[in-house]
Amino acid sequence: MSRTAGTLAIMVGGELQGDPDRSIQGVAALERAGSLQISFVQDERQVSRLKNCRAGAVIAPPRLATAAREACPELTLILTENPQAAFETILDLFQPQRQRPPRGIMPGAFISPTATIGNNCYIAPGAFIGDEVTIGDNCDIHPGAVIQPGCTIGNDTIIHPNVVLYADVSVGSRVIIHANAVFGADGFSYRLVNGRLEKIPQRGTVEIHDDVEIGAGAMADRAMIGATIIGEGSKIDNMVMIGHNCEIGRHNVFASQVGMAGSCKTGDYVRLGGQVGIKDHVTLNTGCQVGAKAAVHKDIPTGETWIGYPATPEGEQKRLVFSLRRVPEMRDQLKQLKKDIAQLTEQLAALESQKPPLRAAG
């Protein structure tokens, strides 16, 4: 497939600067794009990367046109206020997403006679749908998925291969759950009785609300009582662990390998970097952010950014880091001070020994 730069500019509603007849046959990242491919830049930090750019065309915001032209005078530009959205439109042209599987229940799928399946669904070979399960319209259930008894799934939801929903888990509409994710396993909860660990019953459930996307290998344990909740619109990356009785707010974003112990709560629009660990019964209030690898041991106020181990407010942590960088210098200064004090002590002792003795008054 080939399109001209001019045609692509019209497609995305952009202004063309350069050769309208330049042939474009694909898309690529800026550093890897060749003369027949198109790429994009979004901000000033990326403009310097255009100096060695070999792309046939680049999409950029109008405010960067002059700087982009200075970095690469021969560059063909497509100017638009939202370069990434324009690039995604062109991406769909050259690399369209694969079509969804054909509708229907495929041979080899097991569906309980008491389950209810909505219209226009795809149930793959090897999928298991248990007793009293309810699945809405236009859903995809891929091979190896296990939907245990009593689960409910809304409309337009995609369950990828080998996902496991334990009994009585509820999933909303327009949810995407990627491969090997597990929801509703028992919470990690024991008590010590006569020297032995005794399991605490886990009789609650997991609720995944509408428009959530959950990455491969992620998991959330069922509540002891009540529900572990993942709020509307939240995005959970691969290999995230959410403990029992946690309540995740709306539109949260958790990067890979976040670990959240039991009974934690988050407000809306909370952001957690990769490998953040959160102690049990901690509350992360609305709009707060936590940097990668931080260890959170107490509540974080609304809108604050915390980093570090243990996590503290960003400004405090940075002051600590800058202070630690000065430790070698301060150590050398302390050694020198000790030497100076020793010398001064010796000099004072010598002066004291040279003083004439005091005569008694008579």
Active site (catalytic) residues: 244
- Count of alpha carbons within 13 angstroms of residue 192, beta-carbon side: 1
Q: Please give the Cα distance from 246 to 261 (Å, whole number).
A: 8
Question: Cα separation of 56 and 26, whole Å?
Answer: 10
In angstroms and rounded to an integer, the radius of gyration of the C-alpha atoms of the chain is 31
Q: Phi/psi class of residue 21: alpha, beta or left (left: φ > 0; alpha: ψ in -120 to 50)?
A: alpha
Instruction: Compute the Cα dihedral for 61, 66, 67, 72 and give only its sign.
Output: positive
SS (H, E, C) the chain: CCEEHHHHHHHHCCEEECCCCCEECEECCCCCCCCCEEEECCCHHHHHHHHHCCCCEEEECHHHHHHHHHHCCCCCEEECCCHHHHHHHHHHHHCCCCCCCCCEECCCCEECCCCEECCCCEECCCCEECCCCEECCCCEECCCCEECCCCEECCCCEECCCCEECCCCEECCCCEECCCCEECCCCCCEEEECCEEEECCCCCEEEECCCCEECCCCEECCCCCCEEEECCCCEECCCCEECCCCEECCCCEECCCCEECCCCEECCCCEECCCCEECCCCEECCCCEECCCCEECCCECCCCEEECCCCEEHHHHHHHHHHHHCHHHHHHHHHHHHHHHHHHHHHHHHHHHHCCCCCCCC
